[in-house]
Amino acid sequence: MMISDLVSLEFAYASKSFEENFQTLSSLVQKTPKNSLVQAPELCLSGYRYEKLELSAKFSQQIVPKIKELSKDRILSLTLVEKVGENFFNIAKIYHDEKEIYSRAKVKLFSLGEEEKHFAQGDTKEIKTVDIEGTKIALLVCFELRFTKLWDRVSGADIVLIPSYWGKGRKEHLAILSRALAVANQCFVIVSNSSDDDMASNSCIITPFGEVIEDSSFGLIKAKFSKKLVTKMRRYIDVGLV
């Protein structure tokens, strides 16, 4: 599959049922073109409801077949609550053509949100690029964006995905860091953030030249993908990423 479009989804979900959230996700994904790469906000089906982690994990397990169906003729990325043994994880997933092609747990847990009290931490070594027919895709989950050492783990990716549940009070931080990552890595960056009342709601797509595309009034932001644009930027200013 040759990726034609990049799509960032944004919607509110913290106060809704898991099934309602899935219906919203499904409706938005179905509006995206074939051969799109679609990124959903962090934990978009469950939100951070620590009192419902067991139910969240069970719902994730049950809904995966339907999520795979949504990935037909496109790439879909999101994070889900999963339980492994006695531990809960915030797992980033990438699906393509009804198959799971990448999975890893969030490695940097946000202490202000008490994530470390409820989720187990993933392994930094699992942060890596996935090659889909010559396009390299990588992913940093929300708080991980703040750790510039992790940027080395996604260096060379053509597209970096950032599923987020990023607070309104730190909105500018998300904007600055994600744009800096796009410029530093000379790649496309897709930020997908929640639009819950206390969230930053600044989802966007950033080009390798640092141009920011944002307008989530309809729940999704679209931009054409061009690997040639990545190559052009990396040849224009050669920092060793070509």
Distance CA 87, CA 119 (A): 7
Res. 242: pLDDT tops 70? no
Domain-located, residue 238: no
Return left, alpha or beta for 35; rule: phi > 0 is left, psi -120 to 50 is alpha, else beta.
left
Domain-located, residue 234: no
Sorting pLDDT into bands at 50, 70 and 90, what band is 8? very high
Q: How large is the average pLDDT for residues 145-153?
A: 97
Distance CA 164, CA 113 (A): 13
Domain-located, residue 186: yes
Domain-located, residue 229: no
| Nearest Cα residue to 93 out of 79, 107, 74 | 79
Domain-located, residue 225: no
Domain-located, residue 165: yes
Sorting pLDDT into bands at 50, 70 and 90, what band is 212? very high
Q: Provide the percentage of residues in the chain whose pLDDT is more than 70.
A: 99
Residue whose tokens read 């940097």: 108
DSSP calls for 38-67? EEPPTTTTT-S-GGGHHHHHHHHHHHHHHH
Res. 62: pLDDT tops 90? yes
Count up the domains in the chain and report the number. 1
- Nearby residues of 14 by Cβ (< 8 Å), 6 or more positions away: 47, 48, 49, 194, 196
Q: Can you give the residue range of the structural domain that contains 9? A: 5-220
Sorting pLDDT into bands at 50, 70 and 90, what band is 1? confident
Query: Residue 92 is inside which H or E element, if any?
Result: strand 87-96
Give tens-digit pLDDT for 89-145: 999 999 999 999 999 999 999 999 999 999 999 999 999 999 998 999 999 999 999
Res. 224: pLDDT tops 70? yes
Domain-located, residue 242: no
Res. 216: pLDDT tops 70? no
With vertex at residue 20, the alpha carbon angle to CA 52 and CA 202, rounded to the nearest 5 degrees, is: 90
Give tens-digit pLDDT for 161-209: 999 999 999 999 999 999 999 999 999 999 999 999 999 999 999 999 9
Domain-located, residue 231: no
Distance CA 143, CA 147 (A): 8
Report pTM.
0.97
Residue 102 sits in a domain whose CATH number is: 3.60.110.10
